[in-house]
Amino acid sequence: MLFALISATLLLATPVNAESAVVLDEMDSLSSTDLGLKGATVDPSGRWVLAYGEESILKMMSALNPSIQVPMPVMGEVSLSDADYHPGGLTALIVGEDGTVLRYASDDHSVTDAAGNEDFGGESLTSVAWNQGGSWAYIGSENGSIWKMRASSDGGAEAQLLEGLGTGSSITEIECHSDVLLCVVGTTYDGIAIIDRDHTIHWIGGGIYPWNGLVCPTTMDVCVLTSGNAIATVSLDSSNAPSSSVSISEISGAGGVFTGIERQADDRSMVLITPFSLVEHDSRINASFPWLENSDVVEFDSTVSGERVVFTWAADRDSGWILTDRGTILSFHPPPEDSWADGLLGLIIMIVFPMVILGVVLSISMSMSPKLSHWITMKIGSEEEKEFSKRDSRRRRRGKK
């Protein structure tokens, strides 16, 4: 179905039926049991995907070939809710219930405690993001708290609660732009906030929506959030953070509820939808388009269609992988099409081959019938050929006398 992206203050457009832009292909599973995954993150090199979920589950797999996996230790039995790689790519922080903060090290794939529960008051931690330079990580909680955290000299952690917090709404998402020195915060009902380079929080709007997904495309000075059937575009003002603005649009006919958004390529992202489907969002033109219809997922595998998409990542500009809450992995890519060369070859065969056959037949007929040869030459031959044919015809007539 085709989706119309319009201002939230206007009437919604009527959806138009359309087909999926991609097809599902390979399917694999990380486990024979339901893993209860919450999400995943890709390392800065784009080579590895770190997934996390219930009962402290962690899964590490190759981004190019998810069947290649690295065994991961289990640290406790809490639910892990978010993770983010340090910009250097050597470590990642994973946060979860009861003030849990874990550190993953890529050199030996070890997982250790990065901070004590008391550093965060034992609150359930919901989101984490490193700032652009990797000097601080911002950590949000279910109770609306936001801390800045970094490793301390004694091997522990230094965590400081930020000022200017909201009214206690859960911090659902934090994302820092890779080029602009600003971070964006999404909440369940306090709206959207900006954290500037001085760790000051600025609330900029969007308070009527429970935001549940956030990406910051690297090619533009914007960040994009999702909620229900709404998409918010935050235009970042690097020189004056409070002047950053929010534009909220609603999608008509998405066929489900938005549950998140992940980066695909450049300014393009994948909006995750329940029931199982995807919508492509192009930040450059602020428009959304059908990508993967639920009906096509049902046709591919009716069992998988009931699972929830928790993460996607790109393999190429228009292809990639989907990860579900149960741990199912599926690849998607554009449907195969006949190449232009095949089409051209077919055209040549259809047009040229009959012409060649006709030419052979005419050539044989003309060689066997001088009258036919003379008639055809007089109809379509050049002036020189016509003159030659006339002389040849007179010569044959004289020879018969």
DSSP conformation letters of 99-119: GEEEEEETTTTEEEE-S-GGG
> Which of 333, 355, 380 is the endpoint of a domain?
333
| Residues 141, 259 share a domain | yes
State residue 75's pLDDT score. Answer: 86
Beta-carbon-side half-sphere exposure of residue 273 (alpha carbons within 13 Å): 28
**Residues of the chain predicted below pLDDT 70:** 1-18, 338-401
| Residues 345, 328 share a domain | no
| Residues 109, 136 share a domain | yes
Of residues 209, 227, 192, 214, the one with CA closest to residue 262 = 214
| Residues 281, 366 share a domain | no
| Residues 213, 274 share a domain | yes
Which CATH number does the domain housing residue 310 bear? Answer: 2.130.10.10
| Residues 283, 171 share a domain | yes
Tell me, rounded to whole angstroms, the distance of Cα 394 from its chain centroid. 79
Q: pTM of the full predicted structure? A: 0.81
Per the structure, the complete domain to which residue 232 belongs is given by: 5-333
> Which of 313, 333, 353 is the endpoint of a domain?
333
| Residues 238, 215 share a domain | yes
> Which of 308, 333, 358 is the endpoint of a domain?
333
| Residues 266, 209 share a domain | yes
| Residues 360, 328 share a domain | no
Q: Beta partners for 262?
A: 270
| Residues 373, 225 share a domain | no
State residue 154's pLDDT score. Answer: 83
My answer on whether omega of the bond before 370 falls inside 30° of 0, hence cis, is no
State residue 17's pLDDT score. Answer: 41
State residue 205's pLDDT score. Answer: 97
CA distance 69 to 37: 16
| Residues 379, 268 share a domain | no
| Residues 329, 348 share a domain | no
Encoding tokens for residue 242?
């409070």
State residue 72's pLDDT score. Answer: 97
Encoding tokens for residue 218?
């690297």
State residue 4's pLDDT score. Answer: 35
Q: How many domains does the chain divide into?
A: 2
pLDDT digits (tens, 9 = 90+) for 240-287: 999 999 999 999 888 899 999 999 998 999 999 999 999 999 999 999
SS3 content of the chain, % helix, strand, coil (to 5): 20, 40, 40
